[in-house]
Structure 1
Amino acid sequence: MTDICYPNRHNLLSVEQALLEIRKAIEAVTEQELIALPQALDRILADSVVSPMDIPPQRTAAMDGYAFAAGDTAAGQQAKLQVIGTSWAGKPFLELHVPGQCVRIFTGAVVPSFADSVIAQEQVEMNGDTVSLPLDWQPYKNIRAAGSDVKQHEELITAPKKLTARDLSLLAAAGVEKISVKRKLKIGFFSTGDELVPLGEPLAAGQIHDSNRYLLAGLLSDPNHTVSNLGIVVDDQFKLEQTFKSAAQQHDVIISTGGASVGDADFVKQTLEKCGQVNFWKLAIKPGKPLAFGKIGDCWFFGLPGNPVAVLVTYEKFVKPGLEQLAGAPATQALRLRVRCDSALKKSPGRQEYQRGILCQSANGELVVRLAGQQDSHQLKVASQSNCFIVLDADSIGIDAGETVTVEPFSAVL
């Protein structure tokens, strides 16, 4: 695919082709670690977990009421049963019974061995220690069988999986205290550019504060990552080469921002070629065309553009899937919705665009999107105000207000 904005440049790799190249190249880490359940949220399960027990381990009541044997009553007659005790959750009733007796029981309590039915407390009439059942009572109800949720030796969770709070609850219910997870990825990131100044230092003419490292630090915040902020590297090829070599010896992945284009001070691609290998460079995406992906020794490298919105887009579309694959997580796909767009969108054909939008839901549930503002790739305020990408195919020439577009929400909450 050729970018019509750069007709004399090399052909550009499509978003789909670039993702395929990343997935073909990267293999998941194999090392594991054993961790306690409280530390397991969002970690990548390395080995499938089998339940050591039935869940629930015994028959339990599904509601508050009275447990009894259906055979102690006569169908079509109003049965009266004597209450001889209580089965509490955690304190079961263990005494013997004779026909015509029942036990007060609470939700989750063990059903006495003699009982095969539980009737809700709202359905009976109480008179002293005697309960009267209604004529339409139904036997064999409201009892949870042992193993009705999970059977002993049944697979609880299949690896690989990024563990949720729901998963941790299931594992705890089965008495699982420790699990094997994939080890954390070691990731180093830095910014390049003579114009960049750290926070707390005054800006001279032509200088800007380095915002990309704060963006990346937030994007990389994940329990499966150990992240190192490597600072700012000036536009000097020798210093960049030293940084590449040193960081590659200590990390699984290096991510840089800036210096990936074709200017006289853009050294990332040629330095990557010198230190390692370039798998691809230049993509048919906007923002974010100059992206270098390759490897230095055993360390993967992503060289992202310098404009912060381009960093956001290329991280989400390429770096994040690559890190998920390296960490051993199942492949994910961004949620896409087709919604009405209240803004006219301008676009030139040639590159797939990710414009920043604001997705809203009306009182009747209808989803509508509009542009968050100007779409220049340096405009961080617009990115901050947006809550979705509006995705326009490479061949699109823009749309009129009122047409339907594809959006990728940043979150499930609007």
Structure 2
Amino acid sequence: MTGFDSFAMVDWSGGNDTGPRPRKDAIWACVVRNGRAEEPTYFRNREIAEQWLCDLIASEVATGRRLCLGFDFPFGYPRGFANALTGSDDPMQLWEWFERRIEDTPKANNRFDLAGEINRRFGGKGPFWFNGLQRSIDGLPKDKSDYQNPFPERRVVELAPETKGSFSCWQMGGAGAVGGQVMTGLPVLTRLRRAFAGKVSVWPFEVLDKPVAFVEIWPSLTLGAGPDGRIKDAWQVEQIALSLAAMPVEDLANQLNVTAPEEGWILGVSQRKPDIAPPPLRNDCFALPAGVNWTPVDDALALLRERLTVIAPAETEPLAQAAGRIVAEDIVARRSNPPQPNTAVDGYGFAGAAPEGAQVMPLHPGRAAAGIPFDGTVPEGHALRVLTGAALPTGVDTVILEEDVNLQDNHIAFHGPLKHGANTRRAGEDVAEGDLVLIAGRRLTPADLALLSATGIAEVSVRKTLRVAVLSTGDELVEPGEIAGPGQIFDANRPMLLSLINRMGFYPVDMGRVVDDREALRDCLNAAAKQADVILTSGGASAGDEDHVSALLREVGAMQEWRIALKPGRPLALGLWDGTPVFGLPGNPVAAMVCALIFARPALGLMAGEGWQEPQGFDLPAAFEKRKKPGRREYLRARVRDGRAEVFASEGSGRISGLSWAEGLVEIEDGARHIKPGDAVRFIPYGSFGL
């Protein structure tokens, strides 16, 4: 296949004649030759557009220019539909089937009736839906309340991440309806193929070895709203034609190298899913630089941030099930918010500003309400009753509050001045179609779900929830509720860490307690590695005789013991068990919680896909006095009262009550410090760690 000499892109419409003046939601086309775009052309109806296309193809063929001609509607239906109607999977036979049955004039066509006729062949409840006419049609419902589709809802290409927000070809009317475009567009393409027999190839159904190639495009794949003052459809066909004309021949050939014999495909959507996964963590990912055996907190954090990678794969979830999940890729608005200009108040709408002084206007019959638009045009000099959230009808761009109006004898009276556009909202003034609304790595909040829903996002690509196994080690531990013998203590770490993991938004996996037996611990670690993405242990992280966690990690050659310069919680064992990262926390509950917050929390977030999260701290006056020697960073259990940071009375690392008493930590830097009441200290609330 050689390259193309000219490119023409068409934005189609299944509606009626749109009149002589160029407008949106109509048919637009643009031609690019030699890298230069002609002025986009407006067509008021399909009859005129078809003649223009016929003339364009004839001109390009006659002059020997190879033409790439793109249309923004599907060339095929989901699998099985063509065969059900024609007895063949060949989409060209389906094209001809529609061409024989569609009756189309500039003022009307029979697409809704044909959809009802097709539905009746399959039980009368689908696959098509949305009757856009005032009269009822047997077999074609107004909505999807009793809808049943015997075929797939979407084509394979419409399930790709790039095409989120595309509309189904089964929808015959309403915003974004594609069904009407397909039914009125395919007959035109069929007649063009017939008129230029042997000159046209249809992608991706045929080899592109003819002078003209028909290809399917979707402008919203790469483009959003156009510049101010330009009609979006006109701008989009121009930009697509220019981008294809500027594309290297080899790159375009790669995009056209697609196999989709029945359903068709959208140009620009890759069929090749990258065979890529996060790289495995190397056994030396936790290794300290040569000669380093005493690690400052900032250095330890920097090493974790540098060495760790995302290990949670992506999956697509419905919006309703995505709360608290981590966004896997940037999300772009599929629809503007508001989608149309609308009124911000209950009142009366009219066109233009109102000058100073008394104003009296006749009231036009009808009203506009949210979800119930006014069907018609408000005459100049007249007002219409409008309710909050209603789309502004044609002839309305300004609204006066109902509290400022007197109503009598079918007229309204009010005092000006009132500026043009008062009490209205512009389309897209919050978010415009194509805007970046959320970036990859964000953990979805309830407010995010509202934003995504309002901008047309029905499902999102999110990271699978990171599974974190928690196990406690030590002969001295017993479960709360059991009888503790001499020298035994209740396991406080495991319930604390499991709750921490859950509150942080990860999935806790309870691996229970393990006695000080190396083989039992080995079995538990093996089980944890199969069930979780990361393992947290408490106890056994030092180098003593009973510190089996660090001993086993050393045995498999994947362990580093970081002696962190902090108080509390000096030893931190880091390693890999069967490729699964292991964080060996200190056994002391206070040290275990501090190390979990300071080190494990940002590391888990990075591996989960939300990036490295720095806890947000605040400088507050101290309500205490403390002298600190240089060398170690210290974290004191603290809370805020009357705008001042208080610290727990004892710094003893065994005082668990201080964790419960506290609302966060006071961080004291590595150097020497003498803190007096009123001095500024950095307070980090527990909430900054996601608790």
User: Normalising by structure 2, what TM-score?
Assistant: 0.55
The equivalent of 1:64 in structure 2 is 346
The correspondence for 1:298, drawn from 561, 565, 579, is: 579
The correspondence for 2:636, drawn from 326, 334, 355, is: 355
The correspondence for 1:111, drawn from 374, 392, 397, is: 392
The equivalent of 2:538 in structure 1 is 257
The equivalent of 2:183 in structure 1 is none
Q: Which amino acid aligns with 1:382?
A: G
Q: Does 2:344 match 1:79?
A: no
Q: Does 2:676 match 1:400?
A: yes
The equivalent of 2:429 in structure 1 is 148
Distance in structure 1 (CA, Å) of the matches to 2:658 and 2:461? 42
1:182/1:327 contact within 8 Å kept: yes
Report the secondary structure of 1:357's partner residue.
strand
The equivalent of 1:120 in structure 2 is 401
1:244/1:275 contact within 8 Å kept: no
- Cα displacement string for residues 19-74 of structure 1 (whole angstroms, at most 9, x for unaligned residues): 11211221102621111112211211112222222222211002221101238x6x
Taking a change above 3 Å as real, the CA distance of residues 128 and 396 of structure 1, as seen in their structure-2 partners, is: farther
The equivalent of 2:480 in structure 1 is 199
| Equivalent runs, 1:33-44 vs 2, <5 Å | 33-44=315-326
The equivalent of 2:334 in structure 1 is 52
The equivalent of 1:387 in structure 2 is 663
The correspondence for 2:645, drawn from 351, 359, 369, is: 369
Task: Give the C-alpha shift of residue 153 in structure 1.
Answer: 2.5
The equivalent of 2:297 in structure 1 is 15
Distance in structure 1 (CA, Å) of the matches to 2:415 and 2:303? 69
| Segments ≥4 residues shifted beyond 4 Å | none
Q: Which has the larger radius of gyration?
A: 2
Taking a change above 3 Å as real, the CA distance of residues 29 and 261 of structure 1, as seen in their structure-2 partners, is: closer
Distance in structure 2 (CA, Å) of the matches to 1:207 and 1:359? 35
1:342/1:369 contact within 8 Å kept: yes
The correspondence for 1:29, drawn from 311, 320, 323, is: 311
Distance in structure 1 (CA, Å) of the matches to 2:629 and 2:433? 60
Distance in structure 2 (CA, Å) of the matches to 1:385 and 1:186? 29
| Equivalent runs, 1:227-242 vs 2, <5 Å | 227-242=508-523
1:33/1:180 contact within 8 Å kept: yes
Distance in structure 2 (CA, Å) of the matches to 1:132 and 1:184? 60
2:377/2:394 contact within 8 Å kept: no
Q: Please report the RMSD computed on the Cα atoms of aligned residues, expressed in angstroms.
A: 2.1
Report the secondary structure of 1:70's partner residue.
coil
Q: Which structure 1 residue ranges, 5 or more long, are not aligned?
A: 1-9
2:561/2:571 contact within 8 Å kept: no
1:257/1:305 contact within 8 Å kept: yes
| Equivalent runs, 1:204-219 vs 2, <5 Å | 204-219=485-500
Report the secondary structure of 1:293's partner residue.
strand
Q: Which amino acid aligns with 1:339?
A: L
1:82/1:131 contact within 8 Å kept: yes
Distance in structure 1 (CA, Å) of the matches to 2:423 and 2:583? 57
Q: Which amino acid aligns with 1:60?
A: N
Task: Give the C-alpha shift of residue 154 in structure 1.
Answer: 2.5
Report the secondary structure of 1:45's partner residue.
coil
Q: Which amino acid aligns with 2:300?
A: A
Distance in structure 2 (CA, Å) of the matches to 1:306 and 1:177? 45
Taking a change above 3 Å as real, the CA distance of residues 381 and 223 of structure 1, as seen in their structure-2 partners, is: closer
Distance in structure 2 (CA, Å) of the matches to 1:122 and 1:105? 13
Report the secondary structure of 1:79's partner residue.
strand
Task: Give the C-alpha shift of residue 77 in structure 1.
Answer: 5.0
2:378/2:394 contact within 8 Å kept: no
Report the secondary structure of 1:221's partner residue.
helix
User: Which structure is higher in RCO with an 8 Å CA cutoff and minimum separation 6?
Assistant: 1
Q: Does 2:602 match 1:315?
A: no
Taking a change above 3 Å as real, the CA distance of residues 381 and 40 of structure 1, as seen in their structure-2 partners, is: same
2:633/2:667 contact within 8 Å kept: yes
Task: Give the C-alpha shift of residue 346 in structure 1.
Answer: 4.3
Distance in structure 1 (CA, Å) of the matches to 2:632 and 2:504? 34
Task: Give the C-alpha shift of residue 128 in structure 1.
Answer: 4.2
Question: 393-402 or 249-258: which moved more?
Answer: 393-402
Q: Which amino acid aligns with 1:25?
A: R
Distance in structure 2 (CA, Å) of the matches to 1:215 and 1:398? 33
Distance in structure 2 (CA, Å) of the matches to 1:341 and 1:103? 62
Distance in structure 2 (CA, Å) of the matches to 1:391 and 1:225? 25
1:13/1:282 contact within 8 Å kept: yes
1:341/1:404 contact within 8 Å kept: yes
Task: Give the C-alpha shift of residue 336 in structure 1.
Answer: 1.6
Distance in structure 2 (CA, Å) of the matches to 1:381 and 1:159? 39
Distance in structure 2 (CA, Å) of the matches to 1:223 and 1:19? 18
- Cα displacement string for residues 290-316 of structure 1 (whole angstroms, at most 9, x for unaligned residues): 111121232001000011111110000
Distance in structure 2 (CA, Å) of the matches to 1:393 and 1:44? 32
1:276/1:296 contact within 8 Å kept: no
Distance in structure 1 (CA, Å) of the matches to 2:368 and 2:522? 72
Count of residue pairs brought into register by the alignment: 397
Higher share in strand? 1
Q: Does 2:687 match 1:411?
A: yes
1:42/1:223 contact within 8 Å kept: no
Identity rate, percent: 33
1:29/1:182 contact within 8 Å kept: no
Taking a change above 3 Å as real, the CA distance of residues 224 and 405 of structure 1, as seen in their structure-2 partners, is: closer
Question: 333-342 or 131-140: which moved more?
Answer: 131-140
Q: Which amino acid aligns with 2:631?
A: G
Task: Give the C-alpha shift of residue 227 in structure 1.
Answer: 2.2
Task: Give the C-alpha shift of residue 268 in structure 1.
Answer: 2.0
